Structure 1
Amino acid sequence: MSERKPQSVRQLDALVDQLAAGVSANRAKQLRMVAGMWGRAVGREGMPVRAGRSVGQLFTTPALKAFWGLAAAGELRHRAEDVGKPLPLATQRIVRDCLGILAEAAVPGREVWLPALDNVPPRPTVTPAEQAVLYRKLADMAASGPLARDGTGLSFEDRTRLLAMVAIVLDCGARSGELAAMRLDDLGKGMETIAVRRRPQKGRGQRRDEIAALVGVSPVTVSEVLAGRPRRIPAATQRAVLDAADALGPAPGVETYRLREGTRVAVRRWLAVRDGLVADLEGEKTALWVSLRARGMSRGGVERSWPEGVPLGAEGVRLAYGRGMVALNVLMAGEWGWSPMPEKLEQLRRSVLVEPIEA
């Protein structure tokens, strides 16, 4: 029989269950991660005895400081083999943000201690010259057969989808969620344009990244100010964030971008492949980006496969792009003018500077 959790941790788990209904799936996963860390922290040496009595006791300064010392040092990791590996700065920021959310729900109105952290440096982006090489090399490869090198391969279908996806991103700067939301009717007449549904968010937070760039602070700082949780944020910074948010106004719901000729060719080639993938499916077949038939190994070592033609979600888009870029970097290594491309779609997207066309 497993050891019974302290009352404070059980209350915290119940609180996370309530919060999960009102946040994104990714944030809910992060909140559960932090709740699990609290479960491994309470009762340890250095943690106040009272921390096990009620959820409010978890958010006292002594408990938070003891928790943070253990968490940052990697002592509260879930997997035994990872215990002792310090948390990277990006993960520390996630844990800190979740502590703020949990504290606001557990002890509303109370000022709680949270650690001060440096901003996470943004990942490097792709220069205009590298974008041009990427676009040209993919176009050169688009009509040829499967490629392989050093055991790494990129099928014709994979390459066709990757070229169309990268070309679309370079022409409109779409995020993974915005790519996943694209439908066939978002392509304009003659495939000369693409309509992008910008991610729906609430209020001035729609333009968080733009506000952060204007003010010169991290997106997390912007979120804290706009959400009314400006703890430890200087008053001048808060004012600058609010002024920038008012100046920008809300982000448009749908923007239309012009597609270059090469992009139109790439999309037509992808649509020809896509038609074969969705041919045997029932129901609506409107998603622009769909899966290829793939095989993999489950955690238990059992081989599994997933069907072709299924619409890709945001995570599927990120995985398709990342896998394609890993293979492409291997295949193109040593080619004249080729620099290793980032394996994160966000790094490519942030390098794109384009303007939507007039309605």
Structure 2
Amino acid sequence: MSTNAADEDRFPAVEELPQLIEKVLADPDMTKSVESHVRWVEGTLKRALKREDFRTQYGKSLRDLLGPGATALCEMTDNGELRVQELTTPPKHVTASQRRRSSILRRLASAAGVPSGAISYPKPTPKPTVPAWARSELHNRIRHEVDRKPSAPGRARLLVVVSLVLDTAARTGELCSIGIVDLAPDLSWVKITRNPQAHGGDLRVTEVWPVSPITQAALANWLPVRGLLVEDLQGGAGALLVVLHGNRVFHGQGAYKRGMPLRVHGLIDSYQAHAKELKAEVTNRGGSGWELPKNLEQLRRGVQERRASYDTDRQAGAKTPQWGPAVVLNPLLPEELEKKKTAAAFGKVAQAVDAFHQAREAAGDETDPQVLRARRTLRDATRLAWARSDHATTLKLLQQAKLANDDLPAAGYNEVLLDALERT
């Protein structure tokens, strides 16, 4: 039964709810994600208020609606009611959606200045992580797949995703935010901007992580495939992980087109599909031993747990590997200190270019050990300068130091990466 003007007089909450929603959405610090969740809960409340029994019992005030009404709403949704579509699947146990709905209901109650009746759901038990031995075996399996140089876009992208998680314990949102500019000149480092929700607060720390040779090979294989996917895009194409196929579903920023940046839900869904496909194919080839978990987060948590255990063991005096970022760009560090470190890194680039030219002139042979050492020093200096700045600044530094474009490979610049940077 739909509401009418008489109902609005009898049940003020029906009319006050849209005003409350707009008040909550007016928060300047609200993210797009939270805004979509608020709209989602608004729709659920409106569907509930269309029911005469619910409206009669809880529609007389926002105190009723967001107090005992919120409790009733949670119970109804737990029983599979108020769904947008009629589904035959039974309601699940505690899910992220239930916790998110309760969180938004509490936010609405706080904005209205009334007690919240939203049910507080416990965090669900995390799914088991991948053990250390399985992750080690997974590295070996990935190496084998990368050596095959897969041209299928889904396979090439999956290997990059899994390899990056194994190296950096990056979350899905952090993976999606990686751009071409966040890859080191020689693909040996990657910049990860940690999401605030992962650490608390609004501080965004950028960590520059070394990646394994396996990941470097996976990136080198993926970049040409990615280049084909973005070639029809209008404008820049800076994301590392991009959409493989377009669709006609319209989102907040328009339709998904091939080559557009991959978003979090797309990454989660594609990982599950391509991981299942890979395991099936490897099994059909006679292989075994793949321990890819169903969810990417399970893999990430296993890596994070291993990192934490390394830190604990080292504090206890054990000689365990030191697993961490090569460079951390922290906004809280003194600005003058950061400027000095950056200036020193830039100075080393100029020195390395001079030393490279001198070694070349003295040796006259590119394979001379002296030249090879100079190339290695130049590559390391270039990588550190990029880590503390960006590619545009680093390339300008090399140009000012009189390094010819043909010699950029000596500074570590990967040709495929240069092509991708040109496209962005």
TM-score, reference length from structure 2: 0.61
Query: Residue 357 of structure 1 corresponds to which residue in structure 2?
Result: 326
Pairwise CA distance, 1:327: 1.4
Cα deviations by residue, 1:81-132 (Å, 9 ceiling, x for unpaired): 359x4453113322221221111112x2x43334343331112222222222
Determine the structure 1 residue equivalent to 2:319: none
Structure with bigger gyration radius: 2
Give the letter aligned to residue 184 of structure 1.
I
Match of 1:183 in 2: 179
Match of 1:330 among 280, 285, 310: 280
SS at match of 2:186: helix
Structure 1 residues 18 and 347, CA gap change in structure 2 (3 angstroms): farther
Paired residues for 1:1-359 under 5 Å: 3-4=3-4, 6=8, 7-20=12-25, 22=27, 23-42=30-49, 44=51, 47=54, 49=56, 51-61=58-68, 63-82=69-88, 85-90=90-95, 91-106=97-112, 108=113, 110-144=114-148, 156-199=152-195, 201=196, 207-208=199-200, 253-292=205-244, 294=245, 307-333=257-283, 335-339=287-291, 341-352=292-303, 353=307, 354-358=323-327
Separation of aligned partners in 1, 2:218 and 2:26 = 40
The question of whether the paired residues in 2 share the 8 Å contact of 1:206 and 1:250 is answered with no
How far apart, in 1, do the equivalents of 2:234 and 2:45 lie? 46
Structure 2 distance, partners of 1:3, 1:250, is 42
Offset, 1:298: 6.9
Do the aligned residues in 2 keep the contact of 1:277 with 1:308 (CA within 8 Å)? yes
Which amino acid is 1:102 matched to?
L
- Structure 1, unmatched stretches of 5+, are 147-154, 209-248, 300-304
Distance 2:172 2:121 in 1: 28
Alpha carbons 2:63, 2:115 under 8 Å: kept: no
Give the Å deviation of 1:133.
Answer: 2.7
1-structure distance, mates of 2:48, 2:260: 42
* Aligned counterpart, 1:243: none
Q: Aligned residues: percent identity?
A: 29
Rounded Cα–Cα distance in structure 2 between residues aligned with 1:43 and 1:143: 59
Tell me, in whole angstroms, the C-alpha distance in 2 between the residues paired with 1:252 and 1:306: 28
The normalised TM-score by structure 1 is 0.70
Structure 2: distance between partners of 1:101 and 1:2:
27
2: CA distance between counterparts of 1:145 and 1:263?
Answer: 13
Please give the per-residue CA displacement for 1:186-233, whole angstroms capped at 9, x wherever unaligned.
11232221111112x3xxx6514xxxxxxxxxxxxxxxxxxxxxxxxx
Q: Distance in 1 between matches of 2:82 and 2:232?
A: 48
Deviates more, 1:347-356 or 1:17-26: 17-26
Cα shift at 1:2: 5.7
* Greater share of helix: 2
The alignment covers a number of residue pairs equal to 296
Any conservation in 2 of the 1:159–1:324 contact (CA below 8 Å)?
yes
Unaligned runs of 5+ in 2: 308-322, 329-424
CA contact (8 A) 2:142 2:214 kept: no
Taking a change above 3 Å as real, the CA distance of residues 9 and 254 of structure 1, as seen in their structure-2 partners, is: same
